[in-house]
C-alpha cells in the first residue's frame, strides 16, 4: 500500500525535517509512527496524503506518487488529523450525511457509525454544543465514512476518556479485520502496543527503530525482578534478571526464610524503547 524510499523533506528555507526515511506498509497492516513532539510524524503523514508535494526521494501510496495524487486516491482514503474539520452549525448526523454525499462509492451507514462511537443520543445535536471528546469521535467517523481502504489517524485516542478510547481502539481493530490498512501516530505507548503490527520510531526526522512492538521491547533487554527485604532493621532492595533468578542465592535464601517484604517484575515496554530512542529528551 505504501512504499517510501530515502524520503527527505524541509519546510521552506528551514532545516530538514525528515531525512533518509525508508519503509513500506502492507495491506491490512496497522503501522504506527511514534516519536517525540516535533519529530516529524505529522509532516510524514501530510506527505503521504499529498499535502506536501515538494519532497525528495520516493513516496508512493496505492501505486501513485504522493506529489501527484489523483482523485481516485482520495476517494479510497480516510484522514483524521488533530484539528477537527466539522461544520459546527450542523448536527452530527448532518455532518456525516454531508461528507457521505461527497463520495460515489458505497459508504458506511451513518446510524451504524454514530452507534459504534456512542453518539446515537447526540445525533441530532449541533456540533457546536459537543464536548472535545465527542468532536474527536465524530471527526473519526467523518474520516472513515467513505469506507476507505487506507486510513491515516493522527493521535486517534488523544483527549478521550478510557471507555471511549477503548471503544475507538475496538473500532480501529474492526477496520483492520475488514482488511483496511491503517497508518497512525500516537504518544500513547499502550495504544501502540495494543494496535500496531509494526511501529517506526521517528527521532529528529529519522527512523531510529522499526519493528513489531514485541521485538522492539525484547531488544531493550530482559525483564527484571526487584525484591525488598529487611536486614538489621534497614530495608534493602535487590534486582535480578528474570532469566537468572535461580542463580540469585540471596533471593533463594530469603524466599526459604519467608523474609521477602515485596517483590515485582519490571516488564520492558514500548515506553522504555521510546526513552532509549530519544535519549529521554523532549526536544528532538
Ligand atoms: N508548516 C510548517 N512550517 C514550518 N515548519 C513546520 C511546519 N509544520 C511543522 N514544522 C516543523 O517541522 C517539525 C516537525 O513537525 P511535526 O508537526 O511533523 O511534528 P510531530 O512529530 O507531528 O509533533 P507532535 O507530536 O507535537 O504532533 C517541527 O520542528 C515543526 O516546527
Ligand atoms: Mg503531530
- Please, which pLDDT band fits residue 283 given cuts at 50, 70 and 90? low
- Please, which pLDDT band fits residue 104 given cuts at 50, 70 and 90? confident
Pairing of the two strands 198-203 and 30-34? parallel
Give the distance (Å) from ligand 1 centre to CA of residue 43.
6
pLDDT > 90? residue 58: yes
Q: Which residues contact 241 (CB under 8 A, 6 or more apart)?
A: 222, 223, 224, 225
Ligand nearest to the CA of 41: 1
**Nearest partner of 71 among 100, 96, 50, 47, judged by Cα:** 50
pLDDT > 80? residue 192: yes
Helix residue ranges, H only, the chain = 41-48, 71-75, 92-101, 110-116, 132-144, 162-177, 189-195, 213-219, 249-256, 270-278
Q: Give residue ranges with CB within 6 A of ligand 1.
A: 11, 14, 17, 35, 37-43
Size (the chain), residues: 284
Region 120-140: what's the mean pLDDT?
93
CA angle 118, 181, 267 (to 5 degrees): 80
**Nearest partner of 222 among 238, 241, 240, 246, judged by Cα:** 241
Pairing of the two strands 2-10 and 16-25? antiparallel
Burial of 10 (C-beta count, 10 Å sphere; 0-12/13-18/19+): middle
Give the distance (Å) from ligand 1 centre to CA of residue 201.
15
| Cell matching residue 152 | 491515516
Cβ–Cβ < 8 Å for 114, 97 = no
Mutation test of ligand 1: which of 15, 32, 41, 157 has the most ligand atoms closer than 8 Å to its C-beta?
41
Task: Look at 106-115, 184-193, 220-229 and tell me which has the smallest mean pLDDT.
Answer: 220-229
- Write out the CATH class of domain 2-212: alpha beta
- Please, which pLDDT band fits residue 274 given cuts at 50, 70 and 90? confident
- The SS3 assignment for 31 reads strand
Region 39-52: what's the mean pLDDT?
94
pLDDT > 60? residue 61: yes
Cross-strand bridge partners of residue 30: 182
pLDDT of residue 85: 82
- Please, which pLDDT band fits residue 236 given cuts at 50, 70 and 90? very high
In which residue are the cell numbers 445525533 written?
Answer: 123
Region 217-227: what's the mean pLDDT?
83
Would you kindly state where each structural domain of the chain is located, as residue ranges? 2-212, 222-267
In the sheet that 77-80 helps form, which strands lie side by side, from edge to edge? 77-80, 150-154, 181-185, 30-34, 198-203, 206-211
**Ordered DSSP codes for 188-202:** -HHHHHHH-SEEEEE
Region 59-82: what's the mean pLDDT?
92
Instruction: State how far the Cα of 62 lies from the Cα of 76, in Å rounded to an integer.
Output: 9
pLDDT > 80? residue 11: yes
Chain mean pLDDT for the chain: 91
pLDDT > 70? residue 281: no
Q: What predicted TM-score, i.e. pTM, was given to this entire model?
A: 0.86
Mutation test of ligand 1: which of 39, 55, 155, 206 has the most ligand atoms closer than 8 Å to its C-beta?
39
Q: Tell me the pLDDT tens digit for each residue of 78-93.
A: 999 866 689 999 999 9
Distances (CA, A) of 71 to 45, 68, 147, 149, 279: 18, 10, 16, 14, 42
Amino acid at each position: 500500500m505504501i512504499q517510501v524510499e530515502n524520503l527527505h523533506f524541509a519546510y521552506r528555507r528551514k532545516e530538514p525535517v525528515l531525512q533518509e526515511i525508508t519503509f513500506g506498509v502492507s495491506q491490512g497492516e496497522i503501522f504506527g509512527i511514534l516519536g517525540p513532539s516535533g519529530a516529524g510524524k505529522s509532516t510524514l503523514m501530510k506527505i503521504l496524503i499529498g499535502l506536501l508535494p515538494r519532497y525528495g526521494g520516493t513516496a508512493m501510496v496505492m501505486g501513485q506518487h504522493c506529489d501527484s495524487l489523483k482523485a481516485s486516491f482520495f476517494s479510497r482514503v480516510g484522514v483524521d488529523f488533530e484539528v477537527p474539520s466539522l461544520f459546527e452549525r450542523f448536527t452530527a448526523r448532518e455532518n456525516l450525511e454531508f461528507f457521505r454525499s461527497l463520495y460515489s462509492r458505497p459508504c458506511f451507514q451513518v446510524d451504524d457509525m454514530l452507534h459504534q462511537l456512542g453518539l446515537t443520543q447526540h445525533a441530532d445535536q449541533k456540533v457546536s454544543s459537543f464536548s472535545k471528546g465527542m468532536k474527536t469521535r465524530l471527526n473519526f467517523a467523518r474520516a472513515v465514512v467513505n469506507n476507505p481502504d487506507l486510513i491515516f489517524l493522527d493521535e486517534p485516542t488523544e483527549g478521550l476518556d478510557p471507555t471511549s478510547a477503548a471503544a475507538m481502539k475496538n473500532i480501529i481493530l474492526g477496520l483492520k479485520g475488514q482488511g483496511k490498512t491503517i497508518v497512525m501516530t500516537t504518544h500513547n505507548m499502550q495504544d501502540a502496543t495494543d494496535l500496531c503490527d509494526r511501529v517506526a520510531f521517528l527521532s529528529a526526522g529519522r527512523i531510529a527503530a522499526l519493528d513489531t512492538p514485541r521485538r522492539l521491547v525484547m531488544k531493550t533487554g530482559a525483564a527484571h525482578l526487584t525484591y525488598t527485604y529487611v536486614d538489621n532493621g534497614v530495608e534493602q532492595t535487590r534486582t535480578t534478571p528474570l532469566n537468572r533468578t535461580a542463580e540469585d542465592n540471596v533471593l533463594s535464601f530469603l524466599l526459604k526464610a519467608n523474609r521477602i517484604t515485596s517483590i515485582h517484575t519490571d516488564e520492558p515496554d514500548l515506553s522504555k524503547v521510546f526513552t532509549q530512542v530519544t535519549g529521554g529528551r523532549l526536544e528532538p
